[in-house]
Amino acid sequence: MNTAKEKNYYAALLLQDGTVFHGKGFGHPKKTIGEVVFNTGMVGYTEALTDPSYKGQLLTFTYPLIGNYGVPTYSAKDEHGIPINFESDRIQTQAAIIHELCETPSHWASTKSLDAWLNEEGIPGISAIDTRALTKKLRVHGVMMGALEVSPDPIDLESLKKTLSEAKAYGEQDFVREVSCTSPITYGKGRKTVAVIDCGVKYGIIRQLVTRGFNVTRFPYDTPADTILSHHPDGVLVSNGPGDPKTCSATVRTVSALLESGLPVLGICLGVQIIALALGGETYKLKFGHRGQNKPCTDLETGLSYVTSQNHGYAVQPDSLPDTGLKTWFINADDCSIEGLKHDSKPCIAVQFHPEASPGPYDTSFVFDDFREMVIEHH
């Protein structure tokens, strides 16, 4: 099968506001649609592209050179059998949008180029466009739907416009259903069990739990609370995932019941939003979201600030917290949006950022230690 290095592909990215970016195509030649977002990280493209939270999105990398260390093998795993370099078993984004593609990667663990990897997994990419201009547009106007086509033939923009006009809005789609497991999966051999409600959980989260001595059982996102409780878990983690949290009605009902059970609960990313909804709070869509490994958050209890890894486009509404029992734990140092919550009487904590990193700084991995202490104290 031809790759972009062997054959020149045309590519065009059409935004909802009518803006068109023409560039060079790579990866798999096809047409795709999704919400156009940007990530400000300098590294970690293999982790980002396989992060289930990016399902339904066309991911723009703001760092100008992507692919320079290639792509490692999926077979590389840690001592727990969890993949080291990827956050799921496949690329989750609809497409990759970059400025410059490195076609000759150099790294001892590299087995293929970024171009070859995307081509194998049926994912299109566009390079040689002004990603700074694209990012500035998204920051000013907010994220928006877009259509991308990669083809050996010149792009028919009218056809692309028609495709985009007929597309469902990102927030109207149930992406969690597409990225959750379909039956329980178990990891680790610890004495205590954590039930993970899988809304698109990253492997990095499972790794952090297993390395802390937990046995982890991963449940589909719509598993009823009674089914989860029948497995006698010692704690519950509500995972990250894609889309609007308000589409996750089944998960919200499950989490509401689990909170009533008194089990220790930890929410991460989408998990914090679902917990807030389960307790009567509200969520809203951010203008352009927080995506990258350089997002500063402040702990309101200590006054300390941390650099965090993030990937989310929705947040908890502060005005909705009264009567929920939740209080703000962390805030974003840039825009003061909520980045963490604690319940005033239940063993429940939740963070909007990713304490497991993967990729990114490990400054906030203590969140998993706090959860572990909650589980131990509860029993």
Spatial separation of the C-alpha atoms in residues 42 and 292, rounded to whole Å: 8
Token code pair at residue 232: 């006698």
356: annotated active-site residue: yes
**3-state DSSP call for residue 291?**
strand
- For 88-113, give the DSSP string: SSS--SSEEE-SEE-SS---TT--B-
b/e burial code for range 286-320 (CB count within 10 A of at least 16 → b): bebbbbbbebebbeeeeeeebbbbbbbbbbbeeeb
Catalytic residue among 199, 248, 269, 348: 269
Of 298, 306, 323, 310, which is closest to residue 352 (Cα–Cα)? 310
Residues forming a β-bridge with 338: 331
Catalytic residue among 99, 290, 312, 354: 354
Of 228, 234, 276, 230, which is closest to residue 254 (Cα–Cα)? 228
Contact call for residues 97 and 59 (beta carbons, < 8 A): yes
Spatial separation of the C-alpha atoms in residues 318 and 328, rounded to whole Å: 8
Neighbours of 55 (CB within 10 A): 22
Q: Is 158 exposed, middle or buried (0-12, 13-18, 19+ CB in 10 A)?
A: exposed
Cβ-proximal residues to 116 (8 Å cutoff; 6+ apart), any chain = 3, 71
102: annotated active-site residue: no
Catalytic residue among 35, 87, 339, 356: 356
269: annotated active-site residue: yes
Token code pair at residue 321: 């917290």
Active site residues: 269, 354, 356
